[in-house]
């Protein structure tokens, strides 16, 4: 999710009811305390005095690292800047991150994971909650429960579990039943994550894991209305129709409007392509539009192509 889930995306995705809270892109912690500008770059919502999206969804600041002392120092820095929740990333499967002793690499040694969570919890005390995200393990699932207990024992107040190991990456299937085994052995809330693309996926994940709450990542980009449709289904039992491509295109155009004043045109185009790449795997019209625009580099030309695709879809739906 790096490079996509920024403040503008959080704003757009939380304008409709459905998302209870959001998480920033990770702040990479190595061996020093980072200056305030780094935290504000990842979480500009802190500048408003309380980290909330314009729609009112809390924003949790995410740290990624392995050194307990450095994590503690940066936790105190984040607290001083006004963060209201700290999330620790032990789930990132990226090769570069894992090669530098971050993310899911910590799942190979539960005691190191415990030490990292403990250091952050001790640094902020009970002032703000500390949460964590894990996978089912690094190469296999043999230590999944041990890692979950390590996070809980270290002081994590909630655990998000991505239902695959690091080596499984994002390859289906997600093993939601394993999250259920972990949830039954923990006393803290557990949130299911991984391959929840549709209402049916949500129901399967909820049934197999026993978790009412789920975290959406790539699927929130693929369908910006998925959280709202899940929430509506929870409350009423009614299944709203799948989000049309025209609505998704409107979201992309709104994202460009928010970003073009602070990012270069070429960066905005790159971000739009990254977002559309998540959409196209689950939407034939998004895939067609992506294919037509994949070599376009000028922002105005890209936006014109998006509008044409959106308007063509709308005309077809009313014909």
Catalytic entry in 43, 92, 147, 289: 92
> Residue 41 contacts by C-beta under 8 Å, 6 or more apart in sequence?
none
> Residue 76 contacts by C-beta under 8 Å, 6 or more apart in sequence?
33, 123, 124
CA 143 – CA 139 distance, rounded (Å): 10
CA 58 – CA 55 distance, rounded (Å): 9
Would you tell me how many other CB atoms lie within 10 Å of the CB of residue 117?
25
Phi, psi of 57 (to 5 degrees): -85, 130
Q: Is there a catalytic annotation at residue 43?
A: no
Phi, psi of 168 (to 5 degrees): -80, -15
CA 79 – CA 102 distance, rounded (Å): 22
> Residue 61 contacts by C-beta under 8 Å, 6 or more apart in sequence?
24, 27, 39, 42, 43, 46, 51, 78, 83, 85, 86, 87
- DSSP H or E segment with residue 70: helix 68-81
8 A C-beta contact, residue 221 and residue 279: yes
Catalytic positions, written as ranges? 92
């Amino acid at each position: 999710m790096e490079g996509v889930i920024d403040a503008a995306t959080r704003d757009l995705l939380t304008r409709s009811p459905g998302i209870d809270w959001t998480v920033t892109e990770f702040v990479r912690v190595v061996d020093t305390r980072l200056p305030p500008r780094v935290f504000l770059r990842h979480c500009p919502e802190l500048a408003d005095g309380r980290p909330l999206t314009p729609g009112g969804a809390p924003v949790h600041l995410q740290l990624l690292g392995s050194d307990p002392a450095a994590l503690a120092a940066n936790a105190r820095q984040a607290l001083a800047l006004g963060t209201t929740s700290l999330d620790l990333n032990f789930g990132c499967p990226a090769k570069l991150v894992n090669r530098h002793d971050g993310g899911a690499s910590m799942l190979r040694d539960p005691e190191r994971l415990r030490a990292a969570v403990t250091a952050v919890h001790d640094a902020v005390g009970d002032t703000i909650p500390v949460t964590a995200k894990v996978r089912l393990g690094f190469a296999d699932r043999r230590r999944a429960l041990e890692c979950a207990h390590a996070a809980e024992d270290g002081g994590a107040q909630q655990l998000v579990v991505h239902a695959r190991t690091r080596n499984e990456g994002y390859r289906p299937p997600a093993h939601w039943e394993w999250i259920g085994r972990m949830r039954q052995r923990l006393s803290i809330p557990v949130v299911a994550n991984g391959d929840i693309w549709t209402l049916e996926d949500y129901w399967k994940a909820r049934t197999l894991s026993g978790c009412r709450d789920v975290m959406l990542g790539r699927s929130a980009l693929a369908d910006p209305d998925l959280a709202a449709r899940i929430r509506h289904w929870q409350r009423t039992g009614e299944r709203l129709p799948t989000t049309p491509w025209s609505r998704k295109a409107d979201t992309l155009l709104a994202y460009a409007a928010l970003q073009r004043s602070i990012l270069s045109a070429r960066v905005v185009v790159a971000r739009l392509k990254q977002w559309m790449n998540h959409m196209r795997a689950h939407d034939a019209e998004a895939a067609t539009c992506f294919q037509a625009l994949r070599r376009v580099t000028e922002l105005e030309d890209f936006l014109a192509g998006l509008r044409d695709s959106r308007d063509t879809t709308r005309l077809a739906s009313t014909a």
